[in-house]
Structure 1
Amino acid sequence: MLSARGIRNACPGRNLSTSVIATLFPTFNPSSARTQAFSCSRFSQTNRSPAITQAFSTSRCLRQEVAATPTPGQSAEEIEQVVRDAKQRFRDTLPKGYLNQEEYALYERLYGPPLRETLPEDVGIDTHADMGPQSPRSDEEGTIIRELDGGEFEEIPYQIPREEGEEVSAEVSEELVEEPGSEYLAHRAPGYVDLVARNQREYDALQRLAQDFEISQKKQREEENKAAVKEEEEQERQVEEAQAWPEEEDYNQRELADVRRFHPFSVEGRFYDDLVELVLPRDQLISPIRELLDRTHIDHVKKAAEVAFGGSGLPNSPATPSWNKTGPMQGVGLPADQRHMTEIEADAFIAGSLPPAYASSMSILREVRKRVGSEWLQSKLKSGGLNVLDAGSGGAGLVAWEEIIRAEWALLKDKGEVRAADPPGKKSVVVGSDRLRHRVKEFLENTTFLPRLPDYEHSGEMRGVHLDAGDKPQQRKSYDVIIASHLFLGQEQDHYRQAVLNNLWSLLNKDGGILIVVEKAHPRGFEAVAHVRETVLKQFLQPQSGEPDNVPEKPNPAFQREREPGHIVAPCTTQGVCPMYQIPGKSRGRKDFCSFNQRFVRPNFYSRVLGSGQHNQGDVDFSYVAIRRGVAKKSPLTGKEATLSAFKGFETADEMPDMGTLPRLVMRPLKRKGHVTLDLCTPEGRLERWTVPKSFSKLAYHDARKSRWGDLWALGAKTRVAREARAGRGPDDGGKRAGQGAKPRRVEITMGPGGISAGEKNAPRERRANNRKNKKQDLIKELMEAEEEEERIIEKQMDEEVEEEIKREDRKRR
């Protein structure tokens, strides 16, 4: 029931009589209406708001477009029913020419003028449109759904002739009009639009809207096709421009310059590929992790990652933030072999550890692939594949390894030497927690999961000792490549690191297996990697030809073994003592340590975990060493001979030199006007600073200016100077600040009338800064001490006066 205000709002700008209101609203009481002013006053032109003015203008436009001839024999009830159905169907809009003059006049009196002309979106044609190639039913079959009296629906199928399909639809629509009060769902030909109509008029209006929608969709598709063609042309133009001769590029740009402007040996010695910034694989890594993290809010994952990896910025993750490189030098806070993890800790591991671990592993594997050569990998692939173990990165190293192997497999397929779709081989990963294993297996296929490292060191040969042992020893599994990520820094004692190294070495294939050790890029991480390198060279590998034997002074008989051939693949080109690790052990104040950097594109979830959601450029610093077992170094040159040859340069050489005999850049090149200074680690085992001026060679000068940290240098230099490594003060260097090496302390005991006193000579004095603040504090302290002394004297005098007064009173009493 409408109130007086509702009728007034429904009929703006009209004066309705009581009879008209009673006709429109049967429940209206005229007697009570006289006391309530139901007559609606007209709105003045000055009081109209812009929205009302627009509505009236729209109403005048629609009034001119209504049907001019009324429907003959139409009663007032039918007119009202048509108006109410139009309002229910089209809401506050109205199709063009849908109502005649009488119906539109009643529509305006009841609901006011419509807002605008009805669009296809207003009746949901855009959501019911099905333009796909597949149709739910045959083109010759249609269905009518009729609503029964009990509220249920009855489905009535019918056949549509191919040539007279439209006529059948018209006949069906006429039948629908004959039974008012029921709703039908008339299905046209599948693949078009499902229309809902109560009568023929609604059916025709919806048909026109559907045609308008189809025309607009066609125009939209044409515009999208034009835009796509234009975009393709723009991309082709950009590719053509990129293939042109490039100008001088800045050092910090992502893409390297055109290789045609470089010497072939400089290109071969690059540490980076064509793109400095690494892009993480979407299908193999990013998408599976994103799907796994959708179950948990990213804020909860961020909090758990900060707890596990040392706080904001995740300083104890594989990537160390730039602002925390001088902080506590610790290992990875949440290792992959941890036995117990909660659900949120497992999510924190895959979100905060896998992206930087993949970037560092991919950078190392690319360098190892270059230095070992593709022949070894391809020969292994053709003979059954390689067996790889990922120990420490939680599966990120295996994802990077798959990228390397698929590239080699594609080369073999192009040559026609293989036909299989996927490369052969076996993959294993060490994952201690079951919760983490359930997550990692989503993106690692055909992978063996190990709860811990196998221990062959203490298992014995199992032959001739036990009763049930056979004649032959049990076959042990060996791995061609082992990626040991962040395993040694967590072991604080040297003998613990030695035990882990022995275990990894026993798992490595004796015929060319490669062991890769990765740690964080800070002094403690470098020292862990350098300790592994020194131990392998002194205890496991034979010395190179012409090189001195690095036998330890005090060998440990518990870890002695038969030495075998082998060499360091990367990054070291020297097989001797590391110039930055001359004295084993931890060193305080170390400034120079061997490390490398890899830039990568951060995934969105990783940026949000770090707390920098708007930045997608990430960096990971790492120290590593790759050692090959069972294969000696090919070059017969000693370290000194290789350094002299590299200093002369190979710019005019006909054959490519052995890249393992070239010095490597351990810092960024220093670019000056007319010359470039390179800090290199030479094959001789020394740090030297080579200068390449423009007068030395124009090509060498150009390549030196474009060189990067980690590149191998093959074009020589004009001058060379030795550079001392800033290795720190060592654990006990005898410095005065450390309290070592000073004059010996002497204590003098004096016996006097006041007792025994002791005084220490050469005692360290208190170091105080001589500034205004300290002087002010000293003055305040002296004033307070003087005031206390004065109060003490006054109290003593007062006590003495009181005692004298008491004595005088005692004398008087006597």
Structure 2
Amino acid sequence: MSGQRFSSTTASPSESPQPSDDTETINALIERINQNDDEMAKLLEELELIEDVDGMEELADPLEGQEYTPEIWVQMVRQQFGDTIPEGVLNEEETQLFTRLYGEPIVQEMVEEASAEEDKKESDRLFREDGKGRWEEIEYEENAKAEDDIPVVYDMENSSEEIETIAMRRTREVAEQLGGEIMLEQFENEAVPDSAPRAHPLTQEGKFQTDPRTIHLPKNTVTGPISVILSEFSNKHISDTARRLFGGPGLPHSTTTAPPRAQLPQLPIPLHASQHHMGGMEANAYIAALYPGIYASILSVLVEVRKRMGTDWIHHLISQEGGPNVLDASGGGAGILAWRDVVRAEYELMVPAHPEGAAIPYGRSTVLTGSETLRLRASAMLDNTSFLPRLPDYVHVREKPTLEDSRAAPKRKQYDVVIAPHSLLGFEEEYQRKEHVQNLWSLLNPNGGVLILLEKGRQKGFEAIAGAREMLLKRHIASPGSTEYENTLESPGNSTTILKEPGMIIAPCTNHSTCPMHNPAGPTKGRRDYCHFEQRYIRPDFLQRIMGAKDRNHEDVKFSYLAVQRGVDLRQERDIRQNAEATDAAFEGFEHLEEPDSSNIDSLSLPRAIYPPIKRRGHVIFDLCTPAGKIERWTVPRSFSRQAYRDARKSNWGDLWALGAKTRIPRNLNLGDKHGEGKKERLARRAAARAGSREVDEEGEFDELDPKEDEAVDGIVDEGSDRSAFPARKKGQNIPSWKKHADKKKLRQAVKKRGAAEDAL
């Protein structure tokens, strides 16, 4: 038998010698037993009841001519198979010896594998019962070709058959019961085949996103230093302070944007960097709860500004003497951290051989911090930074000598970039916001300074940004057909004409006309549509603990923003068109332009998606703000263009669109009530208008009071109550129905209260 081992039959020296006849008989018996074993093994192999073990014959050969010992056998098994040995190679004694010498072996079960030829041979045999309890083989001719030999024609448009899962089977059964059919939704990745073309260069250039799209706050410059600062204080105290300041769990009054269904009041952020009184725990809450959101939103805006301004702009700032001069006017230092990350990434592209850890020309940084506690924390994260307790007021400072003061005008500070997040909603009056924006504008370098305004992505935040945009276009930024304005504030009788200076809006607008989503008359109530964008970032651990979040570790911060440049008008330098003709050209699409750098197409003349694209089966819908200053809805179906449809499926909120569309219609907007009134005020105004337009009966249409109710009212007034809650009804006055019901409700409550008081007596 192959692989069989035999024990030595040699008698040991201690054993007594046997007679020679007995020895010959025993040897003959052993030889006969071996022959029978060999014959039985061959018979079993023919019947396929056993099979050879790979390597057993190779193991048996070395034992020929050697005396068997467990040590020799275990050593050969180890050399042949290593630690993984076939089942049955070692007996119990040998297994123990193997474990003691080499460790516990891994026993591998032998799996019977039939060869392909044997399977084919077995499948070609046909048997039938012969009636005697046996089976006989019959011969047959293969007249037909096997199914495998039939040529197959593949439908390249049809996908491979999917295995029906339990959920799919249940869905199919429900569809059959309802008399319908299953329609598989084409998702983003499935709708565009793998063979689809890559994104168009203009599509790539118009992307509104960071890389990667979700911002991970850097540990070395943001989360790490903040964690070190907060480690000296109790987590519970910081969390309680943050919730007390920012509106409770979830911090709805911080940079976090609460959903509209929460119906929370739109209040400004209670803490601002310019306030002079801020305790230690309040400063901790500021950097822990506000820094991450401010950093993420400002970084998103700076990346977009960098794309629209081009590489030359930031290269010029880095290369100038002293580097860029940047002011963080209301971010407490978070804006400077975001700016430095943009400069670092750009400088590494400019100087690929820049050694890691070497100095980077960040330039001069200035941060507004009114309190000493916030300044100490910001200075721990920002080196080579100046801190201002307040901003200089250049609005009310003379620009040239006057009759009263002949001295030269004081020298003004000028910054290349001014970052002002969440600084407008803190002012209660509109004129205060305008003066603040004018002051920030005067702080800009007149030869290309950039101002970035940012507010929360809610209705009031957008209205504050839109009001600042309207003021800058009206008084400071010159546009074709609007290069001057009349100033009537200097003297009541005389108006002076003031020339505007060059400048332009960088983002998000691609037009300089009146904002189609803003009402110049002032804020409105019930507004649904407003321009805002979002940026996702990963919350750091300390912010997760403050918010009490246990599962979701990311946040989509929503914001409205405006980026403008002073002293430089790229529309003239690049010959950028922002009008109805540019909108029509964008609707036709620029797909045929494979090299946008060599063409006359600029991203600042393209429409921008002000809402997330609506991706349906077979088409994509865009809500775009066009260069003509209109809000339109464009539809890109699959049949329009393969490239355009592919890019539309990959598009996102805030992208600029350059590949055209098949249809376009005006987008209906819900901008709230133009009179700035609530429901009650609106009903009262409409009732007054109807009363004034028709003749009122002299007797009027008034409900007579019940005598008991009238007596109760007189009693309440006699006791000192204010009767203004129950106004007298004048003759000829038409009172709206809601007012009647309100008066009756108040009267019933007064009667009920008086009755309860009398019963108590």
TM bucket normalised to smaller: 0.5 to 0.7
Q: Does 1:296 align with 2:233?
A: yes
- Alignment deviations for residues 183-208 of structure 1 (CA, whole Å, 9 cap, x no partner): xxxxxxxxxxxxxxxxxxxxxxxxxx
Q: Conserved in 1, the CA contact under 8 Å of 2:633 and 2:665? A: yes
1:119-138 map, 5 Å:
none
The alignment's C-alpha RMSD in Å is 3.5
Match of 2:259 in 1: 322
Aligned to 1:530: 466
2:430 alignment partner AA: D
1:673 maps to: 617
Q: State whether residues 325 and 522 of structure 1, in contact with CA within 8 Å, keep that contact through their aligned partners in structure 2.
A: no
After TM superposition, the structure 1 = structure 2 runs for residues 408-419 of structure 1, keeping only pairs within 5 Å, are 408-414=346-352
Within the candidate set 369, 378, 398, 1:440 is matched to: 378
Correspondent of 1:460 among 390, 393, 398: 398
The separation in 2 between residues aligned to 1:720 and 1:383, in whole angstroms, is 46
Q: Hey, what does 1:341 align to over in structure 2?
A: 278
Q: 1:732 to 1:379 in 2, by over 3 A?
A: closer
Indicate the SS of the match to 2:685: coil
Which residue pairs with 1:513 in the alignment? 449
Q: Structure 1 residue aligned with 2:527, among 590, 612, 627?
A: 590
Of 398, 402, 412, which aligns to 2:340? 402
How big is the shift at 1:575?
0.9
* Alpha-carbon offset, residue 725 of structure 1: 2.1
Aligned counterpart in structure 2 of residue 311 of structure 1, from 222, 245, 248: 248
Contact 2:368-2:388 within 8 A present in 1 as well: yes
Matched letter for residue 549 of structure 1: S
Q: Hey, what does 2:74 align to over in structure 1?
A: none
2:416 to 480, 487, 491: 480
User: In the alignment, is the contact (CA less than 8 A) between 1:540 and 1:561 conserved in 2?
Assistant: no
Distance in 2 separating the partners of 1:407 and 1:660:
24
Q: Does 1:682 align with 2:626?
A: yes
Query: Structure 1 pair 250/347, CA: closer, same or farther in 2 (3 Å)?
Result: farther
1:504 pairs, out of 432, 440, 462, with 440
* Residue number among 648, 653, 668 corresponding to 2:588 in the alignment: 648
CA–CA distance in 2 between the matches of 1:740 and 1:403?
Answer: 54
Where 2:671 maps in the other structure, the secondary structure is coil
Give distance in 1, aligned partners of 2:678 and 2:284: 48
Query: Which of these residues, 671, 674, 692, is aligned with residue 636 of structure 2?
Result: 692
In structure 2, stretches of 5+ residues that fail to align are: 1-184, 701-706, 708-727, 756-761
The 3-state SS of whatever aligns with 1:739 is helix
Alpha-carbon distance in 2 for matches of 1:340, 1:491? 18
Instruction: Work out whether residues 537 and 550 of structure 1, in 8 Å CA contact, stay in contact via their aligned partners in 2.
Output: no
Cα gap change, 1:503/1:441 in structure 2, threshold over 3 Å: closer, same or farther? same
Percent identity of equivalent pairs: 42
Q: Which residue identity lines up with residue 542 of structure 2 in the other structure? A: F
2:418 is equivalent to residue 491 of structure 1: no
Change (3 A) 1:765 1:337: same
- Tell me the amino acid that sits aligned with residue 636 of structure 2: V
- Counterpart AA for 1:672: R
Residue type at the aligned position of 1:414? P
| Structure-2 change in CA distance of 1:324 and 1:509 (3 Å) | farther
Is residue 566 from structure 1 mapped to residue 538 from structure 2 by the alignment?
no
Write the letter of the residue equivalent to 2:674: G
CA distance in 2, matches of 1:671, 1:707: 9
Contact 2:633 2:664 in 1 (8 A): yes
Deviation by residue 1:417-461 (Cα, 9 ceiling, x = unmatched): 999732141000101110011111111110000011112233435
Identify the residue that residue 299 of structure 2 maps to in structure 1. Answer: 362
Q: Cα distance, 1:733 vs. partner?
A: 6.8
By how many angstroms is 1:648 displaced?
0.8
Deviations 1:354-374 (A, max 9, x none): 010101000000000000111
Contact map agreement 1:542 1:564 (CA 8 A) in 2: yes
Task: Report the CA distance between 1:766 and its aligned residue.
Answer: 4.0
Amino acid at match of 2:394: Y
Alpha-carbon distance in structure 1 between the residues aligned to 2:503 and 2:624:
24
Per the alignment, residue 283 of structure 1 pairs with 220
Letter in 2 for 1:492: E
Q: Could you say if the C-alpha distance between residues 419 and 712 of structure 1 is closer, same or farther in structure 2, counting changes exceeding 3 Å? A: same
Partner of 2:684: 739
Map Cα deviations across residues 571-617 of structure 1 (whole Å, 9 max, x no partner): 00011111101433100111110000000000010111112144311
2:586 aligned partner, one-letter code: A
Gaps of 5+ in 1: 1-247, 770-776, 789-814
> SS of the residue aligned with 2:438?
helix
> What is the TM-score when the length of structure 2 is the normalising length?
0.63
Instruction: Assess, with a 3 A threshold, how the Cα gap between structure 1 residues 454 and 619 changes in structure 2: closer, same or farther.
Output: same
Which amino acid in the other structure matches residue 686 of structure 2?
G
8 Å CA contact retained: 1:679, 1:688:
yes
Change (3 A) 1:344 1:542: same
CA positional deviation for 1:675: 1.1
Which residue of structure 2 lines up, in the alignment, with residue 53 of structure 1? none
CA separation of 1:416/1:298 partners in 2, compared to 1, >3 Å: closer, same or farther?
A: closer
Give yes or no for contact 1:734–1:740 (8 Å, CA) kept in 2.
no
SS of 1:624's equivalent in the other structure is strand
Counterpart in the other structure of 1:803 = none
Q: Classify the secondary structure of the residue corresponding to 2:499.
A: coil
Q: Does 2:728 correspond to 1:765?
A: no
Structure 1 length-normalised TM: 0.59
Tell me by how many angstroms 1:553 deviates.
9.3
Amino acid at match of 2:735: A
Conserved? CA contact 2:200–2:643, under 8 Å = yes
Aligned match of 1:709: 653
Asked whether the 8 Å contact 1:579–1:686 carries over to 2, the reply is: yes
Q: 1:4-53 CA distances to partner (integer Å, 9 max, x unpaired)? A: xxxxxxxxxxxxxxxxxxxxxxxxxxxxxxxxxxxxxxxxxxxxxxxxxx
Could you say what secondary structure the match of 1:422 adopts? coil
Distance (Å, rounded) in 1 between the aligned partners of 2:676 and 2:210: 43
Structure 1 residues 552 and 764 mapped into 2: Cα distance closer, same or farther (>3 Å)? Answer: farther
Spell out the pairing of 1:243-262 with structure 2 (5 A cutoff).
Answer: 261-262=198-199
The separation in 1 between residues aligned to 2:318 and 2:298, in whole angstroms, is: 21
Asked if 2 retains the 8 angstrom alpha-carbon contact of 1:681 and 1:688, the reply is: yes
Q: 2:482 aligns with which of 525, 549, 556?
A: 549
* Residue 718 of structure 1: how far off its partner (Å): 0.8
Match of 2:555, SS state, is strand
Question: What is the CA–CA distance in structure 1 between the aligned matches of 2:403 and 2:326, rounded to whole Å?
Answer: 32
- Show CA shifts across 1:377-426 (max 9, x none): 11221122110000111111100000011112112212899997321410
Letter of the 1:396 counterpart: A
User: How many residues are treated as equivalent by the alignment?
Assistant: 516
CA distance in 2, matches of 1:432, 1:613: 35
Whole-angstrom distance in 1 between the partners of 2:343 and 2:333: 15
Provide the residue aligned with 2:369 in structure 1.
431
1:462 is displaced (CA, Å) by 7.4
**1:252 & 1:606 partners in 2: Cα distance?**
34
Instruction: Look up the equivalent residue of 1:719 and give its one-letter code.
Output: T
- State the alpha-carbon separation in 1 of the partners of residues 509 and 225 from structure 2: 36
Letter in 2 for 1:624: Y
Report SS of the residue matched to 1:635: coil
Corresponding position: 1:726 with 2:670: yes
SS in 2 for 1:738: helix
The one of 271, 275, 278 equivalent to 2:208 is 271
Higher relative contact order (CA 8 A, sep 6+): 2
Hey, what's the Cα distance between the residues in 1 that align with 2:399 and 2:260?
A: 51
Select the residue among 634, 649, 661 that pairs with 2:605.
661
Q: Distance in 2 between matches of 1:318 and 1:662?
A: 30
